[in-house]
Structure 1
Amino acid sequence: MQFVMQITFLLLLTYGLAEAGPPISKFNCTSWCGNVSIPYPFGIGPDCYLDKWFEVVCNGSGGSEKAFLTSIDMEVRQININSYFYSPTVEVLMPIISSKTCTSTRGTRSERRMNFTGSPFSVSEYINTFISVGCDNFATIADIVPTVFGCTSDCTPRMKVESSGLLRCSGFNCCESRNVPSDLQVFAVDFRSLNQSKGSVQLNESTEPCKYAFLVNKYWLDRSKTDPSSVNYWEYVPVVLDWRIFSWNSKSYELFNFLKDKRDVSCSSSKLIPTSGFYCECALGSKGNPYLDGGCEGNMYMWRKRKAQLKIAIIVICSSIGAMFLLIVTWLLYRVIKKRNKIKRKQKFFKRNGGLLLQQQLSSNANNVQKTKLFNSKELENATDRFNENRILGKGGQGTVYKGMLVDGNIVAIKKCNKVDEGNLEQFVNEIIILSQINHRNVVKLLGCCLETEVPLLVYEFIPNGTLFQYLHEKNEEFPLLTWNMRLRIATEIAGALSYLHSAASLPIYHRDIKSSNILLDDKYKAKVADFGTSRTVAIDQTHLTTLVYGTFGYLDPEYFQTSQFTDKSDVYSFGVVLIELLTGEKPVSSTRSQEGRNLSTYFIHSLKENHLFDILDTQVKEDSNKDEIMAIANLAKRCLHWNGKKRPTMIEIMIELEGVQKVSHVEPNFEELEYVRKEERGPWNDASISTSSSSKTGTSSSSEHQTSLEGAKRQHRIRTWRALRQCRIAHQCGQ
């Protein structure tokens, strides 16, 4: 836009240069006073006029400037140096002449006399007219004997009737004479009554009516359509004066000799009272100021100049249009190339970030993958305010998580992953595939991803209340204390999610990085398992994964560390550490503990053996829970931390046991379960238990059989837990 404005200004400037006329005043002299042009030989300031007769003074400021001819002390309205038909002229304002008996709101006007004798100025013969207003009036111009020039006016009814069909100043109260004497330099008026003009006795001067007379530019009078009878309200009227250069001083003589031989200037001289003078004009077909060197532009000269200016204008315009066209084409090419490069860059990033591998996985029916939305980079940039630092929710080994809002108003968590190496493509795509398979209330839901950026972006449902780690280890007003019931429920929900991953998903999934910072809490403080970047799916008949050791120190399964074989029991070990965190409120690794107890699992096992468990419990846990529940959870955690993975419980067993602790501490079993206990005590397991046993051996049951076996196992475990607690209460060995 700025470029276009500059080109437009350049074109206007070129056009202005082409249309600009020749100079009218001398170099470095003022050419205007207000809206009055001041051409040479007139001028404002020293060395700007020919002689004192042509000196002009400009008075006033701020748009109210007025030009005055100092030699005759009159205000100038217009100066013309080329007339072609008449002499050059200057229009001035002359005062109204009135009889001595006239009064007005402006005061009494006495008779005035204008005298230009000896000046180069005279009243223009053809442009001005003489007008007189008054009753019983015979007005004549004085001092032009033997010539008598004037007019008569009367106010009798007869004169009104005779003049009713005529134009202005036809004799009734106003008269006009249009043939002003030539070379008039003195203007004065004699007022007489009509009776005096006939030789009657002169009337008393005090009884004479008021009379006015004035010279005026007849064309101005015609244009303005002014009624001369209202002259008593006027002060000045415009009058046109002819002028010549007649004072034969050195300057005027020099000027005449300079101009007389010029082909584009025509000069004439005539008899002007009392001396001879001259005036010049540009030759016919030319225009400009003939009194200046190069002031006239003739047809040929002007044509050549215009032609040269036109060439310059054409060159400038064509160059400007060409430059503009070139700029537009360059800009369009830049946009096209930029867009193409952007597409190529997105394709490059998509391929580098595992987009092709993801497409293969998504198109495979074997994965049973739900439809995952592919977001574009612009949408996610807008959602995070261009990944503003104020939107960061957290940072981890896998990347940085930002809070964002999509165009539909949904709040999401956008994970900006660390740069994915080609060797880790499979690991990254694995998280997308795994999360696409998972549909569980205690697992963070993946909404989609974006792979066309330099680093991959994953879009999750937004979990508002932070991580379990923050509530356990960063206690403040933002993260309030968790009660024992809340901790027990969170542990149960985590176990339920892991049980689903290990046993109920279409393919078993090992999380491989269970820790409190990967457990999120929603608005109702329900647990959500997150961060599946290192997770793996395994075949149903596969018992372990052999991989490079990966995990978080303090949660890492020692058996996996030694053998590099990751099993479902490795997740159990990590979950056991989370249970200890819930019990103790301690971090998995802490330098504030003794050398032997820096690792929380070692510290916990040692305290349990030494019967110091209640010394290391979190204050909130000791206040809210009873001894039986604490011991049940502590023993469960101990089993989860067993060095031999095969002796650790499964996640299903852990979930059932946690549910049992939750329920038994609040309600008694119903009569159906009591009846079931009696039957179980008398005989073998029912069909549900058989189904469970069979299912566990074959590992190939259908989803409906798995559900039946799971319910049976839960029921059996609740019964065993209820029986143990009943015996405990009978022996009076249980806590409150």
Structure 2
Amino acid sequence: MHRTAMTCFPFSFSKKSSSSLPSTRPNLDNDEDDISSIQNVKIYTYKELRNATDNFSEANKIGEGGFGSVYMGRLKGGKLAAIKVLSAESKQGVKEFLTEINVISEIEHENLVKLYGCCVEKNSRILVYNYLENNSLSRTLLGGSHDSIYFDWQTRCRIGVGVARGLAFLHEEVRPLIIHRDIKASNILLDKDLTPKISDFGLAKLMPANATHVSTRVAGTLGYLAPEYAIGGRLTRKADIYSFGVLLIEIVSGRCNTNSRLPIEEQFILERTWELYERKELVALVDTALNGEFDAEQAVKFLKIGLLCTQESPKCRPSMSTVVKMLTGEMEVDDSKMTKPALISDFMDLKVRHKQESIIDTRTSSSYNTSSASEHHDTTIISAATSTFTTQHDHSM
């Protein structure tokens, strides 16, 4: 049973008097009022989490990202947890912290990580999640760091469908709907059965029911960013769908979206996929690690769905519920009017331009560890624009 009780979530987190806080809930210096917005979440003490991680030992570190480090810990009672310690000096990190808690504290889905609780003592901001044994897609499938895991074709199909279902749930079943903004391989974690879990909701945006889009700061990862959002700050659900399309192609091909070690014509995965599509040779993109043991018709279908999701015009991209139906065979894939995707090389130009103008904050971002065989590193960009909403009713976006 999935819970969708999210009607209490504000867009600017409401501030309450600190006197309304339980006495067991510690304050965070100047962030006292912000922290008071946290509800329905278990509060851990710093001592509990320090003990759970053996004093946050390097031996227990399982990841490091833009806002801090992730440790494996054993909570009281023996339950394993992923303990995400945010960097104390980042004010932006506080906002991401609050966003992440408010977004996922009230929802449950098989394909979303589960939040156990948090710690807000003194300068500590720590999130506690369920521990996922097989790390992220970035580290395993794309990075090749878990040689013991073999991603056969059926497993890849289950992962693609699972991520699609998780996103469809966020986009269409919760209220207000949630736009993740940072769908990528390093934010797809895998449990012991290789069931995918969407993680890292720190950049998520909640969307008013009557809004067509949010005009907001750009925050996401180069290579996965939709062009209308990366360039114009226009955020809709279709930005997530674009990112999913890139991810789906990565899952089928077993390679990162950008690989500078390949010949120039093959470095950007969307360019390569479109080229092979036009030549009716999409099957050539399927991961050679499968040794030919895959359903060629289904693989080509998945790659076409990836292309449908990454078309330059947002209105041409299917909804996530439609994507799920196409992936599972409930709906035919119609590529008769499919248009060329926006190219990742455009994002590389964007990255250079932003660096020159010094208006973005770049961080290497990961949920757990994110090594990559392609020498490609996730770069999360966050610009400084403020949020506004356009409130003409439009369900298509």
Give the TM-score, by structure 1 length. Answer: 0.40
Aligned residue-pair number? 311
Question: What is the CA distance between 1:474 and its match in structure 2?
Answer: 2.9
Aligned-partner SS, 1:624: coil
Q: Residue in 1 aligned with 2:53? A: 384
Deviations 1:21-48 (A, max 9, x none): xxxxxxxxxxxxxxxxxxxxxxxxxxxx
Matched-pair identity in %: 33
Deviations 1:236-264 (A, max 9, x none): xxxxxxxxxxxxxxxxxxxxxxxxxxxxx
Q: Residue in 2 aligned with 1:642? A: 311
Which amino acid in 2 is paired with 1:356? D
Q: For residues 186-197 of structure 1, what are the structure 2 equivalents within 5 Å?
A: none
Deviations 1:668-696 (A, max 9, x none): xxxxxxxxxxxxxxxxxxxxxxxxxxxxx
Question: What is the CA distance between 1:409 and its match in structure 2?
Answer: 1.1
Q: Residue in 2 aligned with 1:588? A: 257
Q: 1:535 to 1:588 in 2, by over 3 A?
A: same
Q: Residue in 1 aligned with 2:267? A: 598
Aligned-partner SS, 2:219: coil
Question: What is the CA distance between 1:562 and its match in structure 2?
Answer: 1.8
For residues 324 and 267 of structure 2, the distance between their equivalents in structure 1, rounded to whole angstroms, comes to 28
Q: Residue in 2 aligned with 1:491? A: 160
Tell whether 2:123 aligns with 1:454. yes
Which amino acid in 1 is paired with 2:179? Y
Q: Residue in 1 aligned with 2:74? A: 405
For residues 654 and 622 of structure 1, the distance between their equivalents in structure 2, rounded to whole angstroms, comes to 27
For residues 397 and 609 of structure 1, the distance between their equivalents in structure 2, rounded to whole angstroms, comes to 38
For residues 133 and 274 of structure 2, the distance between their equivalents in structure 1, rounded to whole angstroms, comes to 34
Tell whether 2:105 aligns with 1:428. no
Q: Residue in 1 aligned with 2:12? A: none
For residues 63 and 244 of structure 2, the distance between their equivalents in structure 1, rounded to whole angstroms, comes to 22
Aligned match for 2:140, one of 462, 471, 483: 471
Q: 1:580 to 1:570 in 2, by over 3 A?
A: same
Q: 1:622 to 1:653 in 2, by over 3 A?
A: farther
Q: 1:466 to 1:423 in 2, by over 3 A?
A: closer
Structure with greater proportional helix content: 1
Q: 1:588 to 1:547 in 2, by over 3 A?
A: same
Question: What is the CA distance between 1:543 and its match in structure 2?
Answer: 2.2
Q: 1:606 to 1:622 in 2, by over 3 A?
A: farther
Q: For residues 436-451 of structure 1, what are the structure 2 equivalents within 5 Å?
A: 436-451=105-120
Q: Residue in 2 aligned with 1:360? A: 37
For the Cα contact (< 8 Å) 1:472–1:581, is it kept in 2? no
Tell whether 2:292 aligns with 1:623. yes
For residues 36 and 325 of structure 2, the distance between their equivalents in structure 1, rounded to whole angstroms, comes to 38
Tell whether 2:170 aligns with 1:501. yes
Question: What is the CA distance between 1:661 and its match in structure 2?
Answer: 6.8
Q: For residues 95-110 of structure 1, what are the structure 2 equivalents within 5 Å?
A: none
For the Cα contact (< 8 Å) 2:238–2:317, is it kept in 1? yes
Deviations 1:490-512 (A, max 9, x none): 11110000000001112100110
Question: What is the CA distance between 1:662 and its match in structure 2?
Answer: 11
Q: For residues 159-198 of structure 1, what are the structure 2 equivalents within 5 Å?
A: none
Q: What stretches of structure 1 of length at least 5 have no aligned partner?
A: 1-345, 363-370, 664-696, 700-736
Q: For residues 246-261 of structure 1, what are the structure 2 equivalents within 5 Å?
A: none
Q: Residue in 2 aligned with 1:396? A: 65
For residues 190 and 171 of structure 2, the distance between their equivalents in structure 1, rounded to whole angstroms, comes to 22
Deviates further, 589-598 or 578-587: 589-598
Tell whether 2:221 aligns with 1:544. no
Deviations 1:530-572 (A, max 9, x none): 1111111111111222222121111111121121111101000
Q: Residue in 1 aligned with 2:20? A: none
Q: Residue in 2 aligned with 1:529? A: 198
Q: 1:546 to 1:361 in 2, by over 3 A?
A: farther
For the Cα contact (< 8 Å) 2:117–2:127, is it kept in 1? yes
Q: 1:479 to 1:560 in 2, by over 3 A?
A: farther
Question: What is the CA distance between 1:595 and its match in structure 2?
Answer: 2.8
Which amino acid in 2 is paired with 1:597? E
Question: What is the CA distance between 1:460 and its match in structure 2?
Answer: 0.4
For the Cα contact (< 8 Å) 2:134–2:192, is it kept in 1? yes
Q: 1:621 to 1:539 in 2, by over 3 A?
A: farther
Which amino acid in 2 is paired with 1:488? C
Q: Residue in 1 aligned with 2:327? A: 658
For residues 79 and 127 of structure 2, the distance between their equivalents in structure 1, rounded to whole angstroms, comes to 15
Deviations 1:263-295 (A, max 9, x none): xxxxxxxxxxxxxxxxxxxxxxxxxxxxxxxxx
For residues 330 and 298 of structure 2, the distance between their equivalents in structure 1, rounded to whole angstroms, comes to 7
Question: What is the CA distance between 1:578 and its match in structure 2?
Answer: 0.9
For residues 635 and 404 of structure 1, the distance between their equivalents in structure 2, rounded to whole angstroms, comes to 41
Q: For residues 693-708 of structure 1, what are the structure 2 equivalents within 5 Å?
A: none
For residues 597 and 558 of structure 1, the distance between their equivalents in structure 2, rounded to whole angstroms, comes to 20
Aligned-partner SS, 1:444: coil
Q: What stretches of structure 2 of length at least 5 have no aligned partner?
A: 1-24, 333-392
Aligned-partner SS, 1:551: strand
For residues 205 and 394 of structure 2, the distance between their equivalents in structure 1, rounded to whole angstroms, comes to 22
Q: Residue in 2 aligned with 1:689? A: none
Q: 1:542 to 1:698 in 2, by over 3 A?
A: closer
For the Cα contact (< 8 Å) 1:488–1:662, is it kept in 2? no
Supply the RMSD in Å over aligned alpha carbons: 2.3
For the Cα contact (< 8 Å) 2:67–2:93, is it kept in 1? no
Question: What is the CA distance between 1:620 and its match in structure 2?
Answer: 4.2
Q: 1:479 to 1:599 in 2, by over 3 A?
A: farther
Which amino acid in 1 is paired with 2:101? I
Which amino acid in 1 is paired with 2:184? K
Q: Residue in 2 aligned with 1:614? A: 283
For the Cα contact (< 8 Å) 1:398–1:533, is it kept in 2? no
For residues 518 and 602 of structure 1, the distance between their equivalents in structure 2, rounded to whole angstroms, comes to 23
Tell whether 2:193 aligns with 1:516. no
Q: 1:662 to 1:643 in 2, by over 3 A?
A: closer
For residues 583 and 661 of structure 1, the distance between their equivalents in structure 2, rounded to whole angstroms, comes to 20
Aligned-partner SS, 1:607: helix
Asked which structure has the greater RCO (Cα within 8 Å, sep 6+), the reply is: 2
Question: What is the CA distance between 1:347 and its match in structure 2?
Answer: 5.6
Give the TM-score, by structure 2 length. Answer: 0.73
For the Cα contact (< 8 Å) 1:471–1:481, is it kept in 2? no
For residues 149 and 293 of structure 2, the distance between their equivalents in structure 1, rounded to whole angstroms, comes to 15
Deviations 1:452-501 (A, max 9, x none): 14231100011111111222223366442201111011111100000000
Question: What is the CA distance between 1:596 and its match in structure 2?
Answer: 4.0
